[in-house]
Amino acid sequence: MTALDRTKPSWMTGEVADLFELACDFFEKEAVPNLERWNEQRFVDREFWERAGELGLLLTSIPEEYGGGGGSFLHFAAVAEAIGRTGDRSWGNNVHSGIVAHYLLAHGTREQKRRWLPQLASGRRVAAIGMTEPSAGSDLKAIRTTALREGDEYVVSGQKTFITNGQTADLIVLAVKTDPAAGAHGVSLLVVETDAVSGFRRGRTLNKIGQHGADTSELFFDEVRVPAENLLGAEGGGFGIMMGELRQERLIIGITAICAMELAVRETVDYVNEREAFGAPLITMQNTRFVLAEAATQARVARVFLDDCIRRHMAGELSAAEAAMCKWWLTDQQNDVIDKLLQLYGGYGYMTEYAIARLFTDARAQKIYGGANEVQKELIARTLDRTARGGSRAAGGASTGGSAGSAAARSATGGPSAGGARPADRSQG
């Protein structure tokens, strides 16, 4: 791969731009040379996390008093842009810094924040979010993992799947049923420190069609005793907590989508200018030129849309429906652009030694985790439905549906990653 594209979007100025340059320097030296090895071993080395922590690339949007960088979402986005431009989908920092850290910041007690956030900021601990289960993806309220109170402990029993950072995480925000009969109102969040409990075990690293370096795993909890003080927020409040960060989670997925699109265009432009067929460079052929023109236009429009969503998010103006638009449309465009560009490579586009092939397989999960794209469209449609039935749903529907969709997402972010590849969850959980 050629040197990273360091073109800066409109929102990337001042110290945010400086952080982006620092991150690009680091990823060029420390990530790009290791991408193939990470794909083969199916996880990112802990040393990489710790070096990123030393440089201040973790938890950039968390206050300094808790070990973070003291910045805003723009600082996190700058790091996400930098790693995204390498084409890497191995490093689970979107879940670690973009999701879990903000759950702890927004809903943790002061003691919990002081205890866990500095460890995440340094890379000494890696975070995951455990939502998705074999029988519960987008429908988060259907989870079966239970946490029953016994004195000053919860006894946790159940199974999670599609968990991003699952093999390496030692701090997991776990969605559980503290009241199995209460539906969504019985969902709570517990923080599990994996090195401090017994009965916890990791299953296999899941064999995905893409994002091979992202450690996406099954997790098992066999009567694991977790201190009651590790409850995050109120008992029964987990469902609402998970809905609270949906806009930002979906923006994060949008960032990965646009970075992949732009990289695909850049790589393909290089290829068709160098590759010859029928005695002339591919770029001289009309079909090639038309396909490139379409892809470049789609990527440009997508970038403008994403940047506007980020601007509105920073101003507190981004609606749930607009965040859903960002997630479904950008990932849909990502898949379309990369698919049409791969065709220009012919058989070489199917070879994993070419970046376009990896971008192609990595892209597919983007339409699934973070809330399946079909869920996003339903959330948007609720705001457009003026019938009596739609009117009652539109008022709070975007958030309610979003929470279910977010479960499907947590790679990330559980799923195969934003939970991280989470089909309902991977980014993420």
List Cα–Cα distances, 38 to 95, 214, 324, in angstroms: 18, 8, 31
Q: Where are the beta strands (DSSP E) in 57-186?
A: 127-130, 146-150, 153-164, 171-177
What tokens were used for 277?
């067929």
Letter for the amino acid at 401? G
Is residue 361 exposed (0-12), middle (13-18) or buried (19+ Cβ within 10 Å)? middle
DSSP state of 5: P
Q: Please answer whether residues 129 and 412 qualify as being in contact, where contact means their C-beta atoms are separated by less than 8 angstroms.
A: yes
Q: Out of 81, 133, 235, 249, pick the active-site residue.
A: 249
Q: Which residue has the tokens 């990932």?
A: 331
Secondary element (H or E) of residue 204: strand 200-205
Q: Please answer whether residues 166 and 216 qualify as being in contact, where contact means their C-beta atoms are separated by less than 8 angstroms.
A: yes
Inter-residue long-range contacts of 109-115, CB under 8 Å, 24+ positions, other chains counted = 112/191, 112/229, 112/230, 112/232, 113/66, 114/66
Taking alpha carbons only, the member of 413, 424, 422, 423 closest to residue 95 is 413
> How many secondary structure helices (H) and strands (E) does the chain include?
14, 10
CA 341 vs. chain centroid, Å, equals 24
**263 contacts: CB under 8 Å, gap ≥ 6:** 5, 84, 85, 87, 355, 359
First to last CA, the chain: 30
218 is catalytic: no
Residue 394 CB coordination number (10 Å) = 18
Determine the Cα angle at 156 with ends 232 and 104, to 5°: 15
Beta bridge partners of residue 145, listed in sequence order: none
Tell me whether strands 127-130 and 171-177 are parallel, antiparallel or unpaired. parallel
Looking at the annotation, which residues are catalytic?
249
